[in-house]
Structures are given as structure tokens and as C-alpha cells.
Amino acid sequence: MAKTKKISATDAGKALKRLLSKAKNAENPFPGVTDATQVLIQSFLIWEWNGARASSTWSRMAEDVTDLNELRVTVVDDYLEYFGGGCPRAEERADRLRATLRGVFHREHSTDLSGPAGGPKKEFREYLDSLEGMTPFVAARTALISAGSHAVPIDERTLRLLVKSGVIDPDATVESASQTMSRLVTAANGLDSHLALQMLSEKERATPVMDLPGTVPEEPKPKKAKAASVKKKTTSKASPAKPAAKKASSKKVAAKKQATKKSTVKKSAAKKATKKSTVKKSAAKKATKKTTKKTTKKTTVKKSAAKKATAKKAPAKKSVTKKSSAKKTAKKTTKKSTKK
């Protein structure tokens, strides 16, 4: 197999100059922060992630805790809530950050890194690299911003961008790429180069040319497949009218079925209407029977009442007969008296 040609220092420098010229107005997502502990935590947030999302996560963390030492004992689930959805390597990020803060606490009896950061720059970088859970990107960024060390932070996203742009060899690792960039970039331009590369790596979807640990290659979207699909659609539209005729016949059959269904529904509705009318008639008959029964009962009751009334009137006749008999006796007495 033919070996790939190594990129010379001059070619790498030219490629890097062309790449950095594309970055304009690159901003620091954490402006004005130089405290070593804060820079370390922020570097873990921006590692393999977006600067804006990392900044919003830092704001949530700073509002929730009263002391950065609390983050040392914060559980992973709370870190996942801080990160929110869509955070790459969320659990690994939380585990590494907690392990590093524990390492600092065991050495300094606190999470304050102002002491080591104020010492020699080389020793501070070695101190950071020796911490458990540390990554080359976080160590380089912490040393660069908090101590002014000569370093260019490189993570796998930045490495893919540099390889694609012809700055770094395809077989380079994160560590070797960081050393190469330190030779290509001066100490005065370290921070500006880091911010520019960070911005470009977020905007540029660089396709990886190698399998890096923990990365998933981003496959470009095939454009030819779209054109083929468009052609298929046009051919299907321009095809002969046979399937259209089949569709029309099927529509007719469906219409006939629907018509028969509607007629049967109408017949059943008519049957239901006749049943309802018969029910109404029977109900009317029952009502008439009830009314006739009631009227007959009322008439019989009236007749019996009339008979009772006549029976009560009969004693009145007797009293009349009594009165007439009394008159007769009175007349007889008068006649006798006259005779005497």
C-alpha cells in the first residue's frame, strides 16, 4: 500500500492561514472569566459541544449552586438536567467533570486552583494533565485562558476540521495535533486561533476521514438519489392511462356499492317508520278504549246518583198525604160542631 504524503510545515501554515481567514468576529462564549476553576468547568462544557449551549448550561449551574465545591458532589442526573437535551457525551462529560473536581479537592483540600495556576506555566499544565478525568482539550484551554500558557485546544471536532482543511495529517491524534498547532500558532495568537477554530468547527460540518474514538461519521446527503426520485415521480405521472381506467372502474363499483347501501338504509328507515306508525295507531286505540271506559263509568255513576235522589224525594209525598188527611179530619170536626 502506498503511504500518504505527510503535510509539510509550510503547507500546513498556508492551509491554516486560509482556514482562519474564514472566521470573522469570533467571540468567547465566556467573556471576562479568568478564574482557573471556572475556566476548567467551562472548558468541560464546551468540549465537543456548542459554545452557546455551553454558556447557557453554565448560567443554570451558577444560579443553582452557591459554591463551586457543590459540583464536586453533584450526582450525574443533576448534571444531565443542567446539560439539557441534545448534549453529546452527556454522561461521560458529567463523570469526567466530577472526577477532575474530586482530584483537585484531594490535592488542594478545596476546588480552588488559584495556587497552581499562579505557579510556573509548565508545571501547571503538567498538574492539569495528571488529573483524573482530564482531556487534552480541557487542560490546554484551562492553561491558555487562566494562566496564559502557549497552547491551542484541540478536540475531535476541531481535529476533523483541520484534517479536512489540509492542516493536519489524516493519521494524527488529538495529542499530536495539539503539539503541531502549538508550533504553527504563536503564543500571542493562541486565544484568537482557538476562538476562530471553535466557531468554524461549529459552523462547518466536517466529515471525518478517520475513525476517532467516540465519534460517529457524518455521511453527506446523496444528491443523485433526489434526482432519481424526481425522475421516478415524473415517469409515474407520464405513464399510460390504464391504471387510471382501473381506478375509474373501481370508483364506479364503489359508487354502485354505496348506492345499494343507501337504498337498503332507506328501506330499513321506511320499515322503521311503518312500525312507528302502527305503534302509534295501537296507542291511539288504547287511548280511545280508556276514554270510552271512563265515560261509561261516569254515566253509570250519574244514573245511580239520580236514583238515589228520587229515593230521597219519596218521603216528601208521604208528608203531603199526611197534610191532606189532617185537612180532612179538620173538616169533619167543623161539621160536627155546626150540627151541635
- Here the CATH number for the domain that contains residue 101 is 1.10.340.30
Domain presence at residue 298: no
Range of the domain at 55: 11-206
User: How confident is the model at residue 205, as a pLDDT?
Assistant: 54
Report how far residue 124's alpha carbon sits from residue 52's, in angstroms, rounded to the nearest whole number: 28
User: How confident is the model at residue 25, as a pLDDT?
Assistant: 87
Domain presence at residue 137: yes
Domain presence at residue 277: no
Is residue 256 within a helix (H) or strand (E), and if so which, with residue range?
helix 242-339
Q: In total, how many domains does the chain have?
A: 1
List, in order, residues 6 or more apart from 38 with CB less than 8 Å away: 30, 68
List, in order, residues 6 or more apart from 152 with CB less than 8 Å away: 140, 144, 178, 181, 182, 185, 190, 193, 194, 197
User: How confident is the model at residue 324, as a pLDDT?
Assistant: 46
User: How confident is the model at residue 254, as a pLDDT?
Assistant: 52
Burial of 156 (0-12, 13-18, 19+ CB in 10 A): buried
Domain presence at residue 243: no
User: How confident is the model at residue 107, as a pLDDT?
Assistant: 96
User: How confident is the model at residue 2, as a pLDDT?
Assistant: 54
Domain presence at residue 15: yes
pLDDT of the chain along its 340 residues, tens only? 456 789 999 999 999 999 999 998 899 999 999 999 999 999 999 999 999 999 999 999 999 999 999 999 999 999 999 999 999 999 999 999 999 999 999 999 999 999 999 999 999 999 999 999 999 999 999 999 999 999 999 999 999 999 999 999 999 999 999 999 999 999 999 999 999 999 999 987 544 434 443 344 444 444 444 444 444 444 444 444 444 444 444 545 455 555 544 444 444 444 444 444 444 444 444 444 444 444 434 444 444 444 444 444 444 343 434 444 444 454 444 444 444 3
Domain presence at residue 106: yes
Domain presence at residue 66: yes
Domain presence at residue 289: no
Label residues 107-131 b or e (16+ Cβ within 10 Å = b).
Answer: eeeebbbeebbeeebeebbebbeeb
